[in-house]
Amino acid sequence: MKILAAGSVSSAGFHINVMVHMSDNDYTFPHRNILGIEQLSARDITHILDTAKSFREISERPIKKVPTLRGKTVVNLFFEPSTRTRMSFEIAAKRMSADTFNISASTSSTQKGETLIDTAQNIRAMKPDVIIMRHSSSGAPQLLARHVDTCIINAGDGAHEHPSQSLLDMRTVLDHKGRINGLKVAIIGDIAHSRVAMSNIIGFTRMGAQIFMAGPRTFMPPCLEEFGVTFCNTVQEAVRGADVVMVLRIQLERQNDPLIPSLREYSRIFGVNRDVIREAKPDAIIMHPGPINRGVELNPDVADGKRSVILDQVTNGVAVRMALLYLVLGGGREDALQGGQ
């Protein structure tokens, strides 16, 4: 890849320098929906991560606002709780001057029996440009994308995918390691119920990393061999020599019956603490998508320690989501955003 253009989107003295990384074939971002990492090629992922890096600088300015998405309307449609994802999509949209609206399950008419598709079609009738959706059911954003022609971004669907989380995780690893290809990434915890795990297994392997996983057998899905991941018997084995240690929360909300005897036992056997981290490379980074159950899957001294990049992940969440909004709305395609200028 080479930088072909360092263009700028500007108005009233605001500038975003968007590095356009293209190969000789004039790459154009091809997606109007971001439903999963599964749909993204390595090239798409690289383009999103490069674009996010360009946008990150806006959040460092005294006045954190550019007109790029002025006139665009972004709807956050969240049927599950969220702090990081919902807020960072909203901040991202507002920093780019889009109008944002939040709809949560408790305040929507789904409470009165309206179907998801009816809700979406009614939202669409009000002409938003992007719908960002979180839902407890795997496949809900895909269903929406089949019924409405508005851009859809999946903000986490059941235990399926959480693509923007995976992209911000990859951006964070790139910042700290300079590459993803060839890294050893240990993923520890509740893999089976984690949409973050699924997106990261697809994303990191697509970008050339090797994944090693550990956790209780009841938390290990049966069908991941096709991705080339390695199951380890102990956390220590998975973490040994790792460049990146990614710790996941136990997704109690997605388990009908308890799959582990107790949280105390889980913490003793699978909890990531200073002793476990000694097995990793000396410069290994510690990641967690949040929210953290402190003292269960991750000890506070590791979560808050000098190798932790957990808050960097959150910071990158805004930049990655700015990039996604920009790209799905045609950013980088000539004149695509002119209506909003």
Give the residues lining the site for ligand CP (CB under 6 A).
82-85, 156, 165, 289-291
Question: Whole-number minimum distance, CB 86 to ligand CP, in Å?
Answer: 6
Question: Whole-number minimum distance, CB 8 to ligand CP, in Å?
Answer: 31
Question: Whole-number minimum distance, CB 104 to ligand CP, in Å?
Answer: 13
Strand boundaries in the chain, DSSP class E: 2-11, 14-22, 73-78, 99-104, 130-135, 151-157, 184-188, 210-214, 230-231, 244-247, 285-287
Question: Whole-number minimum distance, CB 292 to ligand CP, in Å?
Answer: 10
The residue among 84 and 177 lying less far from ligand CP, judged by its C-beta, is 84
Pairing between β-strand 14-22 and β-strand 2-11 as defined by DSSP bridges: antiparallel
Compute the distance between CA of residue 13 and CA of residue 153 in angstroms, rounded to an integer.
30
The residue among 68 and 88 lying less far from ligand CP, judged by its C-beta, is 88
The residue among 16 and 298 lying less far from ligand CP, judged by its C-beta, is 298
Residue 77 sits at φ, ψ, to 5 deg, of -110, 95
Instruction: Say if CB 334 and CB 29 are below 8 A apart.
Output: no
Q: How far apart are the first and last CA of the chain?
A: 29
Tokens read off for 208: 């050339």
Question: Whole-number minimum distance, CB 80 to ligand CP, in Å?
Answer: 8
Compute the distance between CA of residue 220 and CA of residue 189 in angstroms, rounded to an integer.
9
The residue among 58 and 310 lying less far from ligand CP, judged by its C-beta, is 310
Angle between the N-to-C axes of helices 42-56 and 163-177, in degrees from 0 to 180, rounded to the nearest 10: 70
The residue among 23 and 83 lying less far from ligand CP, judged by its C-beta, is 83
Compute the distance between CA of residue 229 and CA of residue 253 in angstroms, rounded to an integer.
26
The residue among 73 and 82 lying less far from ligand CP, judged by its C-beta, is 82
Question: Whole-number minimum distance, CB 22 to ligand CP, in Å?
Answer: 31
Tokens read off for 92: 């991202």
